[in-house]
Amino acid sequence: MPYSRRAVLCFVWCALFAPLDATVLIPAEFREIVNGSDIIASGRVIDTTPEWGDNRKRIDTRVTLQVGTYLKGGPGETVVFKVPGGEIGRFRNVMVGAPVFRTGDEVVVFLTRRTSEEPMVFGLNQGVFRISFDEQTKRRVVVRPAVLARGESPEIVVRGSAARRSVPLETFGAQVQAVLAEGAPRGAR
Amino acid sequence: MKRPALLPVLAVLLVVAVVPMFGYLKLGTRVGTRTATLKWDDLPIRYFVTDRPAPQVTQQQFQAAITRAFSTWEAVQSAETSSQFVGFTQANPQSGDGMTVLGFTNRPDLDRVLGATNFIIDTTTADIVESDIFFNTAFQWSVDPAGVPGRHDLESIALHEIGHLHGLGHSAIGETELIAGGRRVLGAESVMFPIAFPPGSVNDRTLRADDIAGITDIYPTTASRRERGSISGKVTKNGQGVLGAHIVAFNPATGALVGGFSLNEDGSFTIGGLEPGPQVLRVEPLDDADIDSFFDASLNVDVNFRVRFHDKVVVVPVGGGARDVEIKVTPK
């Protein structure tokens, strides 16, 4: 087959097909997320740039966060981290379970540095807590509540518990600070 | 409701009330302006296995575990799927080579991801053209029938990933507990629960009612089209639709738990692949999970409502649907 025809077919292949991924995760309790993260920051996404990774075998997206508050670490006014998946031209790579960020998103992110590259979100998606505006209270709240053990004894997580609800961003920040003040639990990384 | 039926129903409610639940979810992809369900139109699914071992697991053991996992899905009588092992390959389980490949690879950057399924999809038709599954060698693996402490069971994880490969998304009936320094899965009535059992467990080698309903919904046999049914309706709060609510159908006759999600702003939902008969419905918020693991981030998922049981038993007709069910929830 002439090279030009192969190139055209390759382009058509890339243009027509979009990848998806799905995952099995190791779950973490909130203290583990806090203590296992190198950077914890809240802020607004100001840029998302997809790029090829692993010799063009996959697409990752570099996310730039304009940081409002650092709860841990703090490299500067912005922090850049990487998430699996993204879209380049007509080629789309989606990892089910991997967080997707858009410009303007408000989030609290828990980031780790496992390699020499940009930090990544703790536990693929476990380190993302999205912020929204509560019309009733007129406050910014963290949508996903922290799943936090109250003691040493095992405690079953009951979905729908009245005690677990979206909390104001300030309250969530205080929860993080309290965990940091406790120090790393035994067995946490 | 007639009084004689009340006590059994109340007993069911009490049992269901203490179990956190999810339902199955189907993978979808955009085709133009619509979303299409992902499924294999051309069966059998032809797959290769990467000719690379991991510590404690040879290529042959890997291939045998994968074959068993495919066979488990194919044994579902109400669904019609099939697969074919083509052979070993030097290719990695990654996209773009035109082959469906399963194998070990090292992803230390994904240090909490045991495995992942990758699809290549024809976005003009939503056909699956290629799918790859990697198993992360950053973890220790086992194929021992009884499991090995400290090692994750390959067949269990393969069963989950091959569920994705068939088009099932993250969905489950599962329960977790908080322990000192971590969080642990206690039990799951679906292999598609998105988080793994502790190392050493082989609990996820068996499909549950939720998985069977999901695979049946995507690949129904002619008989199951006639015999199974669905429930559809909406979840509302203060008159507005609730997005991202979990609706679980409990069949008191069989004990089966099958669920779904409200996936639109109006709170509408459909649960398919159900056995006919009476069903008790329960709605709960996704307030303990990683929402990004289930839904697109652009969705404004509501987790601020109380668990609620539908006040009527819903009867799924043979080969048909129970429609217009409205479940009203209240804020926490």
CATH number of B319's domain: 2.60.40.1120
Residue A182's CB is within 10 A of a number of other CB atoms, namely 11
pLDDT at residue A136 in the model: 81
Q: List pLDDT tens digits, range A29-47.
A: 888 899 989 999 999 999 9
Work out the average pLDDT over A142-169.
81
> Does residue A84 belong to the interface with chain B, where contact is any CB pair within 8 Å?
yes
Residues B172 and B29 in one domain: yes
Question: What distance in Å separates residue B53's CA from the closest CA in chain A?
Answer: 20
Written as six digits, the tokens of B292 are 């990004």
Is A9 domain-assigned? no
For strands A17-25 and B113-122, give the pairing.
antiparallel
Q: Is A76 on the interface with B (CB under 8 A)?
A: no
Select from A9, A10, A20, A143 the residue whose CB has the most chain B CBs within 10 Å, as the one to mutate to test that interface. A20
| Chain B: residue whose CA lies nearest to A14 | B96
Report the pLDDT value the prediction gives residue B71, as an integer from 0 to 100: 98
Same-domain check for residues B143 and B266: no
Q: How buried is residue A184: exposed, middle or buried, by Cβ count under 10 Å (0-12/13-18/19+)?
A: middle
Residue B9's domain comprises 4-215
Judged against a pLDDT cut of 60, whether residue A189 lies above it is answered with: no
Same domain? For B55 and B190 the reply is: yes
pLDDT tier at A153, thresholds 50, 70, 90: confident
Residues B252 and B114 in one domain: no
Residue A136 domain flag? yes
In a domain, A85, yes or no: yes
Query: Quick one: B18 and B74 in the same domain?
Result: yes
Q: Which of B192, B215, B238 is where one domain is finished?
A: B215
Residue ending a domain, among B185, B215, B245, is: B215
Stated pTM of the model: 0.82
Indicate if B78 and B170 belong to the same structural domain: yes
Assess if residue A52 is contained within a domain. Answer: yes
Interface probe for A, chosen from B22, B26, B112, B307 (most Cβ of A below 10 Å), is B112
- On whether residue A11 sits in a domain, the answer given is no
A95 in B contact zone (CB under 8 Å): yes
Mutation site for B-interface testing, chosen from A159, A165, A166 by largest number of B Cβ within 10 Å: A159
Q: Is residue B187 classed as helix, strand or coil in its secondary structure?
A: strand
pLDDT at A6 over 60: no
Q: Residues B168, B272: one domain?
A: no
Give a yes or no: residue B90 inside a domain: yes
Residues B122 and B254 in one domain: no
Within a domain: A72: yes
pLDDT band at A24 (very low <50, low <70, confident <90, very high): low
Contact B84, B46 (CB under 8 A): yes
Please indicate, yes or no, if residue A163 is contained in any of the structural domains: yes
Whether B173 and B245 map to the same domain: the answer is: no
Residue B184, SS3? strand
**Least-confidence region, from A74-88, A119-133, B108-122:** B108-122
- pLDDT confidence of residue A84: 82
Asked whether residue B93 is assigned to any structural domain, the reply reads: yes
Q: By CA distance, what is A130's nearest residue in B? A: B297
DSSP line for B192-229: T-SBPPPTT--GGGS--HHHHHHHHHHSB-HHHHHH-E
Q: Provide the sign of the torsion angle of the four alpha carbons B294, B295, B301, B307, taken in this order.
A: negative
Domain shared by B72 and B163, yes or no: yes
Please state the domain count of chain B. Answer: 2
* Residue A5, in any domain of the structure: no
| Structural domain count, chain A | 1
Which of B178, B194, B215 terminates a domain? The answer is B215
Q: Which of B108, B160, B176 sits opposite A157 (nearest CB)?
A: B176
ipTM over 0.85: no
> Distance (Å) from the C-alpha of residue A77 to the closest C-alpha of chain B?
24
Question: What's residue B329's pLDDT?
Answer: 96
Tell me the residue range of the domain where A124 lies: 24-182
A187 touching B (Cβ < 8 Å): yes
pLDDT in tens, B296-331: 666 778 888 999 999 999 999 999 999 999 999 999
List the CATH number of the domain containing A61: 2.40.50.120
Distance CA B100, CA B232 (A): 35
Please tell me the predicted confidence (pLDDT) of residue B303.
86
Region A177-184 average pLDDT: 84
Among candidates A23, A93, A112 on the partner chain, residue whose Cβ is nearest the Cβ of B113: A23
Q: Which stretches of chain B score pLDDT less than 70?
A: 1-24, 29, 95-96, 171-172, 180-181, 296-298
3-state SS, residue B162: helix
Residues in chain A closer than 8 A to B18 (CB atoms): 158
B129 plus B241 within the same structural domain = no
φ and ψ at B206, to 5 degrees? -120, 130
